Chain A
Amino acid sequence: MITEFAKQFVFTALILLGGLNFVAAQTDGHEEVNHNNHSNHDVQDTSHNSQDDGEHKEFVAKDFIIPHIADANEIHFFGDHHSGFSAPLPMIFYVEGKGFDLFMSSKFHSEDGSHDEHAVLTAVGPNTGTVYIKNPETGISSTKGESFYDISITKSVFGMMFIMALLVITLRSMARSYSKYPGQAPKGLTNVLEPLVLFVRDDIAVPIIGKYKADKFLPFLLTTFFFIVASNLLGLIPFIGGFNITGTVGVTIVLAFVVFFITTVNGNKNYWGHLFWPPGVPNLVKILVVPIEVFGMFLKPTVLMIRLTANMTAGHIIILSFVSLVFIFNQNYGAVAGFGMGIFSTLFMIFMYFLELLVAFLQAYVFTLLAAIYFADATQEAHH
């Protein structure tokens, strides 16, 4: 009886969700199309014209997906890009010789008052009087060509700071609970987080780096692991702006650089010896091997960065692509096709969400594991 009911319930829910997706697709898609018609930018229109069947509707998946995963200067919750609901973030500029400019991103506005997402927006710095031009395609520049540094709190930076604050608060309270109940079994939040801490320590750091050397690297490994897991999970929560922190190159490059820095600083004689004068290799081959090894030294952290960024971004792109499919089917093959696609997309997105949950942990694990392996390489004693 109960399983029958559950089956029916799931089926109904799927139809409802599919319908919801479809309705969203219809309304959103419509707006997109209108704006596209207003705009003078014919971005990739040619590629879609073949599918267009002469109708006025037009949906460009790229313009839908990229703004969702790219870093932005505002947290966009729902609706169309400029008419929809979004929270502004602070813009911070340092203009050389003139000083700092600090204003909210909502100050950016288009010259002609249009709300098109492809429109060029401008804002005047309140302190230096510099006019900043925000082009959706090329980024922010200044009118008179002043050189400036853009250190705005973007969506990813804001998300990262939020995650960092969350980590400090949570982990601090975890540490407190240990001193409050010494030697007792963990409970509450500590009980949830302790397995993760033990996982990083007993399954990553200790077996790879070694029991005594691991202590030195554990704070970094733990911080990285928790930061990546938390960021990845934050990115999976819908309706809060679609954070893609670990899919932002600027963030992962920092993580990778810290890995590189720690590896390099802790490299012992054995590590550098293997790098620049590999033992047991004929001298002529050394000429070939040493550049590769040195290149590899930089390549390893770079690969870490690319793997994490690409994995997280790809997951988001896949989910958004399935949303886009609803738009496209609705537009090209009619409402019924759109509705059907809504059901299919929803099913597949549920699957993708589970996969992404797995990937969220997996990527944090992989990053931490590889970082630990690099540290172990750097601190390994000679064993020949």
Chain B
Amino acid sequence: MGTLLTPAFGTIFWATLSFLLVLFILRKLAWGPILKALHDREESIREALRSADKAREEMANLNSDNDRLLQEARAARDAMLKESRDLASTVVSDAKAKAKEEASKEVEIAREAIQVERKAAIAELKAEVAKLSIDIAERLLREELTDSGKQKTLVDKLIAESTLK
């Protein structure tokens, strides 16, 4: 039991020697680089996360910008459409009104012309009828002089001839 609890000189000697030596070696060759590498990696991860956050924020900004632009464009398009629709309808109604007016004017003119023509025709007809009557009267008068029978047939014949066409 004694050997279990008493520290042996040789064990202490070698343990001190090897522990201190290994502590020194590991500190120089292992722990230094390992801890530095871990620290560097953590830094780079932190940095990466930070820049990712930043990028995400920018992206969100960009998205809201896009939305706004889209909204504006849509509104502008709607306004434009409405405007053109209005314009078109006024143009059509204007044209319609104008056409109507034009048409009625034409009709008026035509009616006046017809009136004039008719008056002229009537006047001419009157003149013709007068001339014809005079003609008939003249021939009648000439025939009358020869035969009274013949006079009658002549008159009938003249009347038949002078049928107004």
Contact = CB atoms under 8 A, between A and B. Distances in A.
Interface of A: 66, 69-71, 92, 138-139, 149-154, 156-157, 160-161, 164, 167-168, 171-172, 174-175, 178-179, 182-183, 194, 197-198, 201, 215, 218-220, 222-223, 227, 248-251, 253-255, 257-258, 313
B164 interface: no
Given A161-B18, A168-B22, A223-B23, A182 B40 contact: yes
Contact of A254 (B1, B16, B30, B31): B16
A248 B12 CA distance: 10
B163 interface: no
B145 interface: no
Interface in B43-86: 44
Contacts of B15: 157, 160, 250-251, 253-254
B4 A66 contact: yes
Given A149-B10, A250-B12, A168 B26 contact: yes
Interface centre among B6, B32, B33 (most CB of A within 10 A): B33
Contacts of A161: 14, 18
A175 B26 CA distance: 10
B9 A160 contact: no
Contacts of A153: 10, 14
A201 B44 CA distance: 18
7 pairs of A and B residues whose beta carbons are closest in the complex? A250-B11, A178-B37, A171-B30, A219-B27, A175-B33, A254-B15, A250-B7
B30 A168 contact: yes
Nearest to B14: A157
B6 A249 contact: yes
A250 B12 CA distance: 5
Given A139-B3, A150-B8, A152-B10, A223 B26 contact: yes
Contact of A258 (B3, B19, B31, B41): B19
Contacts of A178: 33-34, 37-38
> Interface size bucket, B side?
35 or more
Given A92-B10, A151-B10, A167-B22, A223 B31 contact: yes
B4 A172 contact: no
Nearest to A171: B30
- DSSP class of A's interface residues: helix, strand, loop or mixed? helix
A183 B37 CA distance: 8
B28 to A, nearest CB: 9
Given A168-B22, A183-B44, A219-B23, A154 B10 contact: yes
Contact of A250 (B8, B23, B32, B34): B8
7 contacts: A160-B15, A160-B19, A175-B30, A178-B34, A182-B40, A249-B4, A254-B15
Contacts of A255: 19
Contact of A183 (B7, B26, B40): B40
B14 A175 contact: no
B8 A179 contact: no
A349 to B, nearest CB: 22
Interface of B: 1-16, 18-23, 25-27, 29-35, 37-38, 40-41, 44
Contact of B26 (A150, A152, A157, A219): A219
A220 B7 CA distance: 22
A180 to B, nearest CB: 10
Contacts of B25: 168
A183 B44 CA distance: 7
A220 B20 CA distance: 10
A154 B11 contact: yes
Nearest to A306: B5
Contacts of B30: 168, 171-172, 174-175
B35 A215 contact: yes
B29 A172 contact: yes
Nearest to A194: B38
A164 B7 CA distance: 20
B19 to A, nearest CB: 6
Interface centre among B5, B29, B30 (most CB of A within 10 A): B30
Contacts of A253: 7, 12, 15
Given A66-B4, A150-B10, A151-B9, A218 B40 contact: no
Interface centre among B6, B26, B38 (most CB of A within 10 A): B26
B29 A313 contact: no
Nearest to B44: A183
Contacts of A182: 37, 40-41
Contacts of A197: 34-35, 38
A215 B14 CA distance: 27
Interface centre among B1, B12, B15, B38 (most CB of A within 10 A): B15
A116 to B, nearest CB: 18
A157 B34 CA distance: 28
Nearest to A153: B14
